[in-house]
């Protein structure tokens, strides 16, 4: 709406919110799969509203009715019709299953199939064209449904009207050719052959500005939105400040000035380590921007492509608003550490360090945002950032001194922001008064000696050179960020999949439809179309529920306005019964509580307050046993993205069918379900991520149903199984549902805007009003006679017209607006009706166990043993990992490149032991490699765990497996991949760096590398397991990287640390890894250094590492991996972050 100038923006926004019926959720968070927010229908209306509030006069609206009830769809389309006619705009809307009354609002119709235009012209002439071709629409048939089915191979025959002629299938191509010679087609061709008359065009018809308002106002709007997002994400920024505060306190006590000395060069090296860590910590603090930026990119790409704003207007607010947070973070850091560590007390040097670190923070944030825009995917971006950080840190001059950098890599030294930051902060400290004393046997100040010892510059001007360079890098990375946003597109784009009814697939469709009913006539209770082949045995069960209420804690703004007191009730005393062999439709306006009721009955709610009685065939419902006999087709269609359709079904059947069903029978049953849901032609298709790649909405919906059907459940809940499908696909789904009911199962479906055929395929209706109260619960009857009679007996209710859709009429006459007009409360009328009394009597009867019946009981909670559960999960992870190239492929590529880079940068340094600096260089290579590859492994695995966790929540709720075997399988699948990764790295790096080539030293190098990468990976998995999402998990995990970095023993060795912190060296896994690497490689070397000490003696004296401890160190490193596995498994079992 910011694209409209002046006060008009707020007026338009309020108007669109009112049109779309979003007033009640205007201040509610949108939410996600993991977080409760607005309903699915409200999200769809929000998407529509995002486009309507702008100044566009040509609107292209794709499938806007998905998830909306018929009355809301009608209201939206009617508003668009009026707007288009009054403002002379152009609007094209694609609809799936459009209600007849909404269809009647359109002026023209375009009928597309397999890339051909079958009809394009006035709506009134569409039926004439098909009658011209020999097809007639039946009386009680919706015209939109007829138009979609008449061009389908499987459904065309039933509409053939020329009884005197033999029917033959007319292909889409033949329809398209015939249309060209039809009257409407000829008129259109004639119209298109004439050049456009510019005199008829309005002067303001074309836009000559790319954006609706001046770009500076767009910048202001983006700045306002970014500030709002920062407030919403305040936890992240508060956590970062708390994290920095804790790390500053640790650093302060570790390098406390009472324990620090300025007497020798080694003392200066310890101070240097503290300063290097400070710079590293501020840089790593910016890593949180990486995942947050990637998370916001999908919305940015959508808005960029629709011309909401230029990329620079989106990128600049991030930099501007980072300045105050950086000022606060660095102020907290410096105020705690500077004087307590004992840096130069001169105020000017304190302020200079503060200013420098602010620039480091700004540079870091802009760098990670740029890398996020380049990566565009969390895995790729985190891998790329790990690689860049590794190269820049290694070439900063601290890990590998400047004079030891290979001439082929010296260019990297000069372009590293780390190098300029390190030189600036070291010059500020070591050229101060505290380091001006001259050491014995030397003519130079001690500070200069320290800088020369590690190869840093001694010119005081390097502080200002560093300041200028960091400022320049900040500007450069922000420019590159804006350019990346401007020119790069997302990796994955939604794929348009060709219909399975294409002419090329006629033979396949003919065979695949042989088991299905001819045509799409679906009648309640009909057994005309029974499934061929076997039906696995099952026991039918009924579900009764009496006086069900469900409430959540009310939002604060609603409490403040006095709307509610403390709880917001979404269901208010609902009662009903679902019986075997009876197909029940659960309907109501958007926000009436349909999905909420389904979640409560299925036991899927994880939050809130539920009251009331639920029984299964007369016995109280127990979720553990109920999950074994029920299935739930969720609205969100959650599946593992990297397995095929066939594999998904095999996996579900393997874990959910009882052990008595052998493998061959299981496979046959899966094949029959695939044929039933018409998924045969997609058996080897990768499922993919919704809206990104893989299956289309309709195909995912059918897969969701099939996944539940292969479990052979007695009770099935389906949440909007036809939402997002066209009439043909919806009819396929409903035919499947009808066949399922006819086998004696209990099936309940929530449904929006059904056609007459689909609506009357249901046996009973459960109708809810907004606020969670039932207003009709009972049978539909033939041609919906019982429903119609019930509402028509209410005074003032409009009679239904002949041929009108009863579902649409019912929603119209029972809408909140009609309640106000008629002055009635439909919920209260129902509670006083005879129908309500009969339903309560039926609930009472069904709530009593039948004679000789037994309560639902299974010997075990799950169908399969824990071992089989683990094996099945491992089988699925095997295929997922094998096909997940952004994860496994990028990880191996990263490792190979890092191995080559390290081998080149540290070429043949492993065997050079002339002085202490040579040892520091070799040990620095081990330390940096462990951290870079380890952090990359931990970061890359987190989005994988996060995506699979959402699938895990669904599968565990369905009773497929316990959490423990799932966690074990997730751990086991990592072992071979990390083994191969470690083999690649060790073989390349060990030989190129030139470590001593003996069997035992090679073994220990490989051993410590392998188990270190394992515990880093398991640590990343663990961080996600105890946090709500991967972004917070990423931030939490990075908090400990700083601790591990400083306590690893490279920056400050254990013997030089204060005694009160030495215990943490034993709790830091990286310190044990470094101990293992250094002690196994150098702990027994007797070469003499320039100082006169042997390598073994220096390693023991400076680091405190002993060669005899290597086996014990190895056991401890393995123990850390086991500990992280245990915490990961425990969190997976105990914690559930899905808010429903």
User: What is the predicted pLDDT for the residue at 646?
Assistant: 95
Last residue of a domain, one of 460, 488, 516: 488
User: What is the predicted pLDDT for the residue at 36?
Assistant: 64
pLDDT digits (tens, 9 = 90+) for 848-868: 998 888 888 888 888 899 999
- Domain annotation covers residue 3: no
For residue 1088, the SS3 value is strand
> Distance between CA 578 and CA 910 in Å, rounded?
74
Question: Among all chains, which residue has been given the structure tokens 């709406």?
Answer: 1
Residue-averaged pLDDT of the chain? 85
User: What is the predicted pLDDT for the residue at 52?
Assistant: 78
- Greatest distance between any 2 Cα atoms in the chain: 118
The share of the chain scoring above pLDDT 70, in percent, equals 92
Last residue of a domain, one of 155, 172, 197: 197
Q: In this structure, what token pair is assigned to residue 437? A: 């004393």
The more confident residue out of 925 and 431 is 431
User: What is the predicted pLDDT for the residue at 34?
Assistant: 55
- Whether residue 722 sits in one domain with residue 596: yes
Task: Identify the helix (H) or strand (E) that includes residue 1135.
Answer: none
- Whether residue 833 sits in one domain with residue 920: no
- Domain annotation covers residue 649: yes
Contact 760, 784 (CB under 8 A): yes
User: What is the predicted pLDDT for the residue at 707?
Assistant: 92
Contact 617, 796 (CB under 8 A): no
CATH code at position 710: 3.40.50.300
Contact 380, 371 (CB under 8 A): no
- Whether residue 886 sits in one domain with residue 842: no
Question: Among all chains, which residue has been given the structure tokens 């969390």?
Answer: 378
pLDDT digits (tens, 9 = 90+) for 894-952: 899 889 988 888 888 877 777 787 888 888 888 888 888 898 899 889 989 999 999 99
pLDDT digits (tens, 9 = 90+) for 503-512: 443 334 433 3
pLDDT digits (tens, 9 = 90+) for 1084-1110: 888 888 778 888 998 898 889 999 999
Q: Is the pLDDT of residue 893 over 70?
A: yes
Q: Is the pLDDT of residue 1 over 60?
A: no
Q: Is the pLDDT of residue 728 over 80?
A: no
- Domain annotation covers residue 610: no
**Which of these ranges, 33-47, 518-532, 765-779, 936-950, has the smallest mean pLDDT?**
518-532
Last residue of a domain, one of 175, 197, 219: 197
- Whether residue 158 sits in one domain with residue 46: yes
**Which of these ranges, 171-175, 454-458, 519-523, 738-742, has the smallest mean pLDDT?**
519-523
Q: In this structure, what token pair is assigned to residue 648? A: 């998904």
For residue 546, the SS3 value is strand
> Distance between CA 968 and CA 877 in Å, rounded?
11
Q: Is the pLDDT of residue 35 over 70?
A: no
Q: In this structure, what token pair is assigned to residue 1113? A: 């160190």
- Domain annotation covers residue 746: yes
With CA atoms as reference, report the closest residue to 384 among 928, 925, 376, 276. 376
pLDDT digits (tens, 9 = 90+) for 233-270: 787 788 888 888 988 998 888 888 766 777 888 888 88
Confidence of residue 760 (pLDDT cuts 50, 70, 90): confident
> Distance between CA 581 and CA 601 in Å, rounded?
18
- Whether residue 456 sits in one domain with residue 341: yes
Q: Phi first, then psi: give them for residue 777, nearest 5 degrees.
A: -135, 110
Contact 1027, 1135 (CB under 8 A): no
Q: What is the 3-state secondary structure (H, E, C) of 1019-1037?
A: HHHHHHHCCCCHHHHHHHH
Looking at residue 815, the DSSP 8-state letter turns out to be S
User: What is the predicted pLDDT for the residue at 502?
Assistant: 38
> Distance between CA 449 and CA 106 in Å, rounded?
84
Q: How many domains does the chain have?
A: 4
- Whether residue 322 sits in one domain with residue 178: no
User: What is the predicted pLDDT for the residue at 12?
Assistant: 77
Q: Is the pLDDT of residue 836 over 80?
A: yes
pLDDT digits (tens, 9 = 90+) for 519-543: 334 444 444 434 443 467 888 999 9
Structural domain that includes position 345: 248-488
- Whether residue 1108 sits in one domain with residue 983: yes
CATH code at position 67: 3.40.50
User: What is the predicted pLDDT for the residue at 51?
Assistant: 80
Helix, strand, coil share (%) of the chain residues, nearest 5: 60, 10, 35
> Distance between CA 14 and CA 294 in Å, rounded?
31
- Whether residue 432 sits in one domain with residue 359: yes
- Whether residue 925 sits in one domain with residue 958: yes
- Whether residue 1048 sits in one domain with residue 923: yes
- Whether residue 375 sits in one domain with residue 341: yes
Q: What integer is the mean pLDDT of 508-517? A: 38
Q: Which residues pair with 551 in a beta bridge?
A: 569, 609
The more confident residue out of 749 and 70 is 749
Q: Is the pLDDT of residue 84 over 80?
A: yes
- Domain annotation covers residue 235: no
User: What is the predicted pLDDT for the residue at 175?
Assistant: 93
- Whether residue 254 sits in one domain with residue 111: no
> Distance between CA 1018 and CA 938 in Å, rounded?
7
- Domain annotation covers residue 559: no
């Amino acid at each position: 709406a910011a694209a409209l100038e002046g006060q008009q923006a707020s007026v338009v926004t309020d108007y669109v919110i009112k049109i779309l019926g979003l007033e009640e959720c205007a201040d509610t968070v949108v939410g996600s799969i993991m977080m409760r927010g607005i309903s699915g229908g409200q999200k769809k209306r929000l998407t529509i509203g995002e486009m309507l509030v702008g100044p566009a006069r040509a609107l292209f609206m794709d499938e806007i009715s998905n998830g909306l009830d018929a009355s809301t769809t009608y209201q939206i389309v009617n508003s668009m019709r009026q707007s288009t006619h009054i403002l002379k705009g152009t609007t094209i809307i694609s609809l799936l299953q459009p209600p007849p009354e909404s269809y009647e609002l359109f002026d023209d119709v375009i009928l597309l199939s397999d890339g051909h235009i079958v009809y394009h012209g006035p709506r009134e002439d569409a039926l004439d064209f098909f009658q011209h071709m020999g097809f007639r629409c039946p009386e009680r048939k919706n015209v939109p449904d007829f138009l979609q089915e008449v061009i389908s191979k499987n459904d065309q025959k039933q509409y053939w009207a020329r009884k005197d002629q033999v029917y033959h299938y007319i292909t889409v191509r033949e329809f398209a050719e015939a249309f060209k010679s039809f009257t409407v087609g000829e008129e259109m061709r004639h119209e298109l052959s004439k050049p456009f008359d510019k005199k008829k065009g309005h002067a303001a018809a074309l836009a000559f500005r790319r954006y609706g308002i001046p770009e500076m106002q767009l910048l202001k709007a983006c700045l306002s939105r970014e500030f709002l997002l920062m407030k919403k994400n305040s936890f992240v920024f508060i956590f970062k400040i708390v994290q920095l505060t804790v790390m500053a306190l640790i650093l302060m006590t570790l390098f406390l000035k009472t324990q620090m000395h300025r007497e020798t060069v080694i003392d200066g090296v310890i101070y240097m380590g503290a300063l290097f860590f400070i710079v590293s910590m501020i840089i790593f603090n910016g890593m949180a921007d990486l995942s947050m930026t990637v998370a916001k990119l999908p919305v940015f790409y959508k808005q960029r492509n629709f011309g909401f704003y230029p990329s620079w207007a989106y990128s600049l607010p991030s930099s501007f608003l980072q300045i105050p947070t950086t000022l606060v973070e660095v102020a907290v850091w410096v105020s705690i550490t500077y004087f307590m560590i004992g840096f130069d007390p001169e105020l000017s040097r304190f302020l200079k360090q503060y200013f420098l670190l602010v620039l480091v923070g700004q540079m870091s944030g802009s760098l990670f945002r740029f890398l996020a825009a380049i990566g565009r995917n969390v895995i790729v971006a985190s891998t790329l950032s790990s690689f860049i950080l590794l190269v820049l840190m290694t070439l900063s001059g601290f890990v590998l001194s400047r004079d030891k950098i290979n001439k082929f890599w010296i260019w990297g030294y000069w372009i590293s922001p780390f190098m300029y930051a390190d030189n600036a902060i070291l010059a500020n400290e070591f050229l101060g008064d505290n380091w001006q004393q001259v050491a014995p046997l030397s003519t130079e100040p001690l500070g200069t000696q320290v800088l020369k010892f590690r190869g840093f510059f001694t010119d005081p001007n390097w502080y200002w050179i560093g300041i200028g360079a960091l400022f320049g890098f900040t500007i450069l990375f922000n420019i590159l960020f804006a350019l990346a946003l401007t020119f790069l597109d997302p990796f994955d784009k939604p794929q348009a999949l060709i219909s399975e009814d294409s002419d090329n697939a006629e033979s396949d469709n003919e065979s695949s439809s042989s088991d299905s009913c001819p045509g799409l006539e679906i009648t309640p209770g009909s057994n005309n179309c029974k499934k061929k082949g076997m039906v696995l045995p099952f026991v039918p069960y009924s579900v009764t529920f009496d006086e069900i209420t469900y409430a959540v804690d009310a939002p604060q703004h609603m409490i403040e306005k006095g709307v509610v007191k403390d709880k917001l009730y979404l269901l208010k005393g609902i009662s009903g019964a679902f019986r075997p062999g009876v197909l029940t439709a659960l309907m109501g306006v958007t926000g009436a509580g349909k999905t909420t009721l389904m979640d409560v009955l299925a036991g899927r709610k994880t939050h809130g307050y539920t009251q009331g009685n639920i029984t299964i065939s007369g016995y109280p419902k127990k979720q553990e046993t109920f999950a074994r006999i029920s299935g739930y087709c969720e609205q969100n269609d959650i599946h593992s993205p990297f397995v095929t359709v066939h594999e998904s079904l095999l996996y579900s059947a393997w874990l959910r069918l009882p052990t008595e069903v052998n493998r061959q029978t299981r496979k046959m049953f899966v094949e029959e379900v695939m044929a039933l849901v018409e998924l045969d032609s997609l058996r080897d298709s990768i499922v993919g991520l919704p809206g990104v790649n893989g299956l289309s909405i309709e195909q995912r919906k059918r897969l969701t149903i099939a996944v539940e059907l292969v479990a052979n459940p007695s009770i099935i809940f389906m949440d909007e199984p036809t939402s997002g499908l066209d009439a043909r696909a919806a009819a396929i789904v409903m035919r499947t549902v009808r066949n399922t009911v006819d086998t004696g199962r209990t099936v309940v479906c929530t449904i929006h805007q059904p056609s007459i055929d689909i609506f009357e395929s249901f046996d009973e209706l459960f109708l809810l009003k907004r606020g969670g109260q039932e207003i009709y619960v009972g049978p539909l009857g033939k041609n919906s006679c019982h429903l119609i009679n019930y509402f028509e007996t209410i005074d003032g209710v409009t009679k239904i017209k002949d041929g009108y859709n009863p579902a649409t009429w019912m929603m119209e006459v029972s809408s909140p607006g009609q309640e106000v007009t008629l002055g009635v409360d439909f919920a209260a009328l129902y509670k006083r009706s005879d129908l309500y009394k009969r339903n309560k009597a039926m609930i009472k009867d069904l709530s009593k166990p039948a004679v000789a019946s037994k309560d639902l009981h299974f010997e075990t909670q799950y169908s399969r043993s824990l071992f089989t559960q683990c094996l099945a999960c491992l089988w699925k992870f095997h295929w997922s990992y094998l096909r997940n190239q952004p994860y496994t492929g990028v990880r191996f590529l990263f490792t190979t490149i890092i191995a080559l880079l390290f081998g080149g940068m540290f070429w043949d340094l492993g065997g050079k032991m002339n002085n202490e600096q040579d040892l520091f260089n070799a040990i620095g290579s081990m330390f940096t490699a462990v951290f870079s590859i380890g952090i990359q492994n931990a970061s890359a695995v987190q989005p994988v765990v996060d995506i699979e966790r959402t699938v895990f929540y669904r599968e565990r709720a369905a009773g497929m497996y316990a959490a423990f075997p799932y966690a074990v399988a997730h751990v086991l699948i990592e072992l071979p991949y990390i083994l191969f990764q470690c083999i690649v790295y060790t073989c390349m790096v060990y030989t190129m760096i030139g470590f001593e080539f003996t069997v035992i030293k090679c073994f220990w190098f490989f051993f410590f590398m392998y188990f270190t990468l394992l515990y880093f990976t398991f640590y990343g998995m663990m961080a996600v397991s105890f946090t709500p999402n991967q972004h917070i998990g990423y931030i939490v995990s990075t908090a400990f990287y700083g601790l591990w970095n400083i306590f690893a023993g490279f920056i400050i060795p254990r013997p030089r640390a204060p005694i009160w912190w030495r215990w943490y060296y034993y709790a830091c896994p990286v310190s044990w890894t470094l101990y293992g690497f250094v002690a196994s490689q150098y702990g027994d070397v007797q070469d003499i250094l320039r100082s006169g000490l042997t390598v073994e003696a220096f390693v023991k004296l400076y680091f405190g590492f002993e060669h005899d401890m290597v086996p014990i160190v190895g056991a401890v490193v393995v123990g850390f991996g086991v500990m992280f596995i245990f915490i990961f498994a425990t969190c997976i079992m105990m914690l559930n972050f899905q808010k429903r």
